[in-house]
Amino acid sequence: MSDVLSKFRPDEECTQTNYNRKLKVGIIGTGWIAESHAESYLQMDDVEIVALADLIPGKAEKFAARYGITNVHFYPDHKSMLEQEELDAVSVCTYNTTHCVCTVDALKAGVHVLLEKPMTVTLDEALAICRAEKESGKIVDIGFQPRYEVNFQMIKKIVDSGVLGDIYYIQTGGGRRRGIPGSTFIEKKTGGIGALGDIGCYALDVVLNAIGYPKPLTVTGYTSGFFGASTEYYPESDASRFNVDDFAAAFIRLEGGIICDFRISWAMHMDTTGDSLILGTKGGLRIPSTECWNGYGLDRPLVYYHDVGGAQVETVIPPKESNAGRIFYEKVRAFLDAVQTGAPSPISSRQILYNQAILDGISRSAELGREVEIVIPEV
């Protein structure tokens, strides 16, 4: 996992916007991903980390020592931090099952939230966040850093240019042949869901964001976990704890008659579940699926399929030099800029509610063994 994280470490100087006011931030959950948040905050002049909270005794203290974070208060949980600190914003870097409670409590305390992905585990939790955000007047920004990678951004630019015509079918997924993360990702009590939430949320976001996030209507979903629980593939210490999915597939109907065909994997006997595709009435786009979808660039170029003068041609989109080393910084910066200026959330909870509704629908459908309707109540 540390290899993946090191790819996010800023490899060149990042631009800084200076505001007069120094923001006070806290980090809730000082585990693996909190490192990238801390590293980004520490490079910025208009923010100071004043509080760290973690349920595991001594973990926040060690984290602070590792990053040379001084003048900081430590808390044994998010609640005591929010009660005792005057904060402008928090990063919620906890495992998935506590995303909702930490975010809702922060909003109730009048604090802006940068929330790690996936938004939550269930649709009800995501709705609770949207409602608390609306009541609080604060923002929730969902931490999908791939949105800041230049080649990923190209996907949306191509769709927005109109060259694909009306979109009627998308296929997304990918994932890996073997690569279950372990840690808190593999148990229901902490991860809630497995590959589906971990990398499935990204795979969906890349294409749904590109086509304007149409509302999901129905889903037939499938999940399995044949590898994670098997000592043939994983050490006993992980296999005995594993109780989430390591593979998921779904057929989703979206508003506007659009179909989304989805598959994601942490482990399978296959190299990839295939390229991602966006099919429109005037053109198609082939997007090489990636193992993680976490924004660390694309390993092949995007290809645009279209007709010219009756001939069927393919245009290879020249890849741009990836800015993957800076996308975590960009994600944190975009959040703070919105907090500083009062701008809307860069990646809004209202949009990612649809992403979460799909994940929730896949889980429900898989459990029931049939297609389910996706009903998203008004916020």
Ligand X SMILES: NC(=O)c1ccc[n+]([C@@H]2O[C@H](COP(=O)([O-])OP(=O)(O)OC[C@H]3O[C@@H](n4cnc5c(N)ncnc54)[C@H](O)[C@@H]3O)[C@@H](O)[C@H]2O)c1
Q: Please give the residue ranges that form the binding site for ligand X (CB under 6 A).
A: 28-34, 53-56, 59, 77-78, 93-96, 98, 102, 116-117, 143, 145, 183-184, 198, 294
Q: Which two tokens stand for residue 180?
A: 């279950």
Task: State which residue has the least CB distance to ligand X.
Answer: 31
CB-neighbour burial class of residue 379 (10 A; exposed 0-12, middle 13-18, buried 19+): middle
Residue with tokens 């020249």, as numbered in its chain: 318
Compute the least distance from the CB of residue 318 to ligand X, in Å.
26
Which residue's CB is nearer to ligand X, number 116 or number 245?
116
Compute the least distance from the CB of residue 281 to ligand X, in Å.
35
Which residue's CB is nearer to ligand X, number 220 or number 348?
348
Which helix (H) or strand (E) covers residue 258, if one does? strand 258-265
Compute the least distance from the CB of residue 31 to ligand X, in Å.
2
Burial pattern 90-129, b for ≥16 Cβ within 10 A else e, equals: bbbbbbbbbbbbbbbbbbebebbbbbbbbbbbbbebbbbb
Compute the least distance from the CB of residue 369 to ligand X, in Å.
27
Compute the least distance from the CB of residue 307 to ligand X, in Å.
39
Which residue's CB is nearer to ligand X, number 117 or number 333?
117
Question: How far is the C-alpha of 123 from the C-alpha of 359, rounded, in Å?
Answer: 8
Question: How far is the C-alpha of 73 from the C-alpha of 88, rounded, in Å?
Answer: 15
Compute the least distance from the CB of residue 358 to ligand X, in Å.
17
Is 187:98 a contact under the CB 8 Å cutoff? no
Nearest 5°: phi and psi at 351?
-75, -45
Question: How far is the C-alpha of 204 from the C-alpha of 331, rounded, in Å?
Answer: 18
Compute the least distance from the CB of residue 225 to ligand X, in Å.
17
Which residue's CB is nearer to ligand X, number 90 or number 279?
90
Nearest 5°: phi and psi at 299?
-90, -5
Which residue's CB is nearer to ligand X, number 285 or number 359?
359
Which residue's CB is nearer to ligand X, number 46 or number 105?
105
Q: Which two tokens stand for residue 84?
A: 């005792």
Which residue's CB is nearer to ligand X, number 45 or number 83?
83
